[in-house]
Amino acid sequence: MHRMQLGLVGLGKMGANMRTRIKAAGHEVIGYDPRPEVSDVASLAELVERLEAPRVVWLMVPHGEITDQNVEALAGLLSPGDVVIDGGNSRFTDDQPHADLLAQGGIGYLDCGVSGGVWGLENGYALMVGGSDEDVAKVMPIFDALRPAGPRENGFVHVGPVGAGHYAKMVHNGIEYGLMQAYAEGYELLQAEPLIEDVTGTLKAWTEGTVVRSWLLDLLVRALEEDPGLAQISDYTTDSGEGRWTVEEGVRHAVPLHVISAALFARFSSRQESSPALKAVSALRNQFGGHAMVDQQGRSVGETSTHDK
Return per-residue pLDDT of the chain as tens, 309 residues.
579 999 999 999 999 999 999 999 999 999 999 999 999 999 999 999 999 999 999 999 999 999 999 999 999 999 999 999 999 999 999 999 999 999 999 999 999 999 998 889 999 999 999 999 999 999 999 999 999 999 999 999 999 999 999 999 999 999 999 999 999 999 999 999 999 999 999 999 999 999 999 999 999 999 999 999 899 888 888 877 899 999 999 999 999 999 999 999 988 887 766 678 778 888 898 888 777 667 666 666 655 444 443
Give yes or no: 65 in active site.
no
Q: Which of 169, 185, 242, 279 is catalytic?
A: 169
Q: Give the model's pLDDT for residue 238.
A: 81
Return the amino acid letter for 21.
R
pTM (2 decimals)?
A: 0.87
Rounded distance, CA 136 to CA 131, Å?
Answer: 7
Residue 194: exposed, middle, or buried by beta-carbon count in 10 A (0-12, 13-18, 19+)?
exposed
Q: Give the model's pLDDT for residue 244.
A: 94
Nearest to 284 by CA among 218, 208, 213: 218
DSSP the chain: ----EEEEE--SHHHHHHHHHHHHTT-EEEEE-SSTTT-SSSSHHHHHHHSPSSPEEEE-S-TTHHHHHHHHHHHHH--TT-EEEE-S---GGGHHHHHHHHHTTT-EEEEEEEE-GGGHHHH--EEEEES-HHHHHHHHHHHHHHSPSS-GGGTEEEEESTTHHHHHHHHHHHHHHHHHHHHHHHHHHHHH-TT-S-HHHHHHHTSSSSTT--HHHHHHHHHHHHSGGGTT--S-----SHHHHHHHHHHHHT---HHHHHHHHHHHHHTTS--HHHHHHHHHHHHHH---EE-TTS-EEE---TT--
Q: Are 252 and 244 in contact (CB under 8 A)?
A: no
Q: Give the model's pLDDT for residue 281.
A: 86
Give yes or no: 204 in active site.
no
Residue positions counted in the chain = 309
In order of 13, 84, 129, 148, the CA distances from 121 in angstroms are: 10, 22, 19, 10
- 29: CB partners within 8 A, 6+ apart: 5, 6, 7, 8, 19, 22, 23
Q: Give the model's pLDDT for residue 296.
A: 63
Q: Which of 13, 138, 176, 279 is catalytic?
A: 176
